[in-house]
Amino acid sequence: MNNKYKGSTVSSGIAIGPARVIRKSEPGNAAPVAMMSEPDRVEAELVRLEQAIEATKIHMDKMVLDAGVKAGKDAAQIFLMHKLVLDGKEFRNLSRICIEDGQMDAEEAVRQTSEALASKFDEMEDEYMRARADDVRDIAREVIIALHEGIDGSDDPQKEYPHILLTRSILPGEVMELDQDNVLAIVTVEGSTTSHAAVLAHMMDIPMIVSVPIDLDAIEDGTPIYVNADVGEVIVSPDVDFIEQAHRSSDPVRSALLGLKGCETVTITGRHIDLYANISSVVDMKKAMENDAEGIGLYRSEFMYMERLEAPSEDEQFAVYKKLLNMYKDKVLTVRTMDLGGDKLTPYVDPEGKRGLSVSLAHPDIFRVQLRALVRASVYGQLRIMYPYVTNAEEVVKANSLFAEVKWALLSEVGSVSIPQGIMVETVDAVENIDALIPHADFISIGTNDLTCDIYGVDRFSAVEGAIKDDYENLFAMIGRVVYKAHNAGLSVCVCGEIASRREYTSRLLDTDVDCLSVAPAEILLMRDHIINNCR
């Protein structure tokens, strides 16, 4: 064992693979361009700057969507903040001054501006604020790429083989552009655990260690690298004996759970339970796959709509659904149509006090785009859709009718596709109207978070436990009623929400005869172990 280094852990995990070293050249100070002071040259550079900034803002919209899909809402917020910087005056005005008074071209003006702004953060005492300097540099990087008409002169970290990425530093946009299937871990010489690049790596579940005092020039591409981000350790060219010992010393509890991968989820009495996962991003999908989920019981599609100034296009949504279906091709993917309203607000949809399906029906143009994207993607896997926060049969009939119109319009493109349509029961009204709802559904999903709040008269932001005086007896009674009615009609019932993950209540849930539990990806193997060994 040799060449052992320590750093600061950003995102935990263990990985071993060949090195991929990114050697970035530092941007130099370009000499003033001859004749730059001439009005026509100045004007030409100002025009280039404005066009590049506007192009970057458009690209940032895509980055917001990509970040939300890959890593969730908080990741999208990072790039929304980047766009707000571009929308502001300081970055633009300082760049213009550099062109007008400093006789610089647009590229050098952007570099000088970013360094001037970034240096203000670099000088701050607070580590979190210092880390914001990289955000400014990332914005400048995107603008310079736009100035070069999309040609980035930096080395491309994406390769077609799994690797450990080693680099001096990495920016948020560069993290978001990484191929998650091939980047096994990230090691940086510089960097902070509070940088947005670090935050994104954590959200994307990529093991990452920063501030590692490693000589990049001494490492060739392909050199074996061992990364243990659990303890902040990097080993260059580890020997075989060390690797075997590292595997033997892994967590025995985790190893036992991993032994359940591929096993059927059955109770002590032999009853099979479908064990699905709830996801919001591609990262969640990868975790669901790694933990052997039997399907996806809930994909929260509304996160594609949030943190944006306009609704995602049909092609943008199609690409996301297609990717998810291709990732888990032999398993069911259940997409919840956009669940807007309540605490999920966007600037382009006015919920008018409504929630879920009723909001979608009030905005048929936006809803139709989502349905078209779903139908087009359905040919790539086993897709199901379900309507959120349903309260009455009339709205389900309207939704089914609109869906039928979309399928007919796309018949020549995708053929006659079969896509089950389900409903989410999340209110007392829906439970009471279940007889009227069932004839219009192919399956039922019970969202216990909202249903619990409705039953016990609390909101999602209150301490729910203090309001529960009957140990959830009323909730389980309503679940049992829905399951009984659904089974009589030949429909399956899945339960998603917090109660589905709480193993102290699993036996009571299964006593209601539910067919499926849909839980967080990290809970899959724990729940399988509990059902196999403790539930009848």
Q: What is the dihedral of CA 448, 450, 455, 460, to 10 degrees?
A: 120
Is residue 196 part of the annotated active site? The answer reads yes
List CB contacts of 43: < 8 A, sequence separation 6 or more.
none
Distance of CA 344 to the CA centre of its chain: 16
Contact 195, 134 (CB under 8 A): yes
Catalytic residue among 196, 202, 453, 535: 196
Give the C-alpha separation, 303 to 72, whole Å.
7
Residue 310 burial by Cβ neighbours in a 10 Å radius (0-12, 13-18, 19+):
exposed
Catalytic residue among 98, 453, 496, 516: 496
Select from 386, 375, 287 the least CA-distant residue to 336.
386
Taking the CB of residue 184, how many other CB atoms lie within 10 A of it? Answer: 21
Query: Which element (helix H / strand E) includes 131?
Result: none
Contact 130, 122 (CB under 8 A): yes
Write a three-state SS string for 136-176: HHHHHHHHHHHHCCCCCCCCCCCCCCCEEEEECCCCHHHHH
Q: DSSP readout, 212-237?
A: ----GGG--TT-EEEEETTTTEEEES
Q: What is the dihedral of CA 71, 72, 73, 74, to 10 degrees?
A: -50
Select from 214, 248, 247 the least CA-distant residue to 232.
214
List CB contacts of 105: < 8 A, sequence separation 6 or more.
30, 33, 36, 45, 99
Q: Tokens for 220, please give them.
A: 């060739």
Distance of CA 27 to the CA centre of its chain: 32
Is residue 453 part of the annotated active site? The answer reads no
Taking the CB of residue 417, how many other CB atoms lie within 10 A of it? Answer: 15
Distance of CA 117 to the CA centre of its chain: 30
Give the C-alpha separation, 412 to 143, whole Å.
42
Taking the CB of residue 101, how many other CB atoms lie within 10 A of it? Answer: 10
* Positions marked active-site: 196, 496
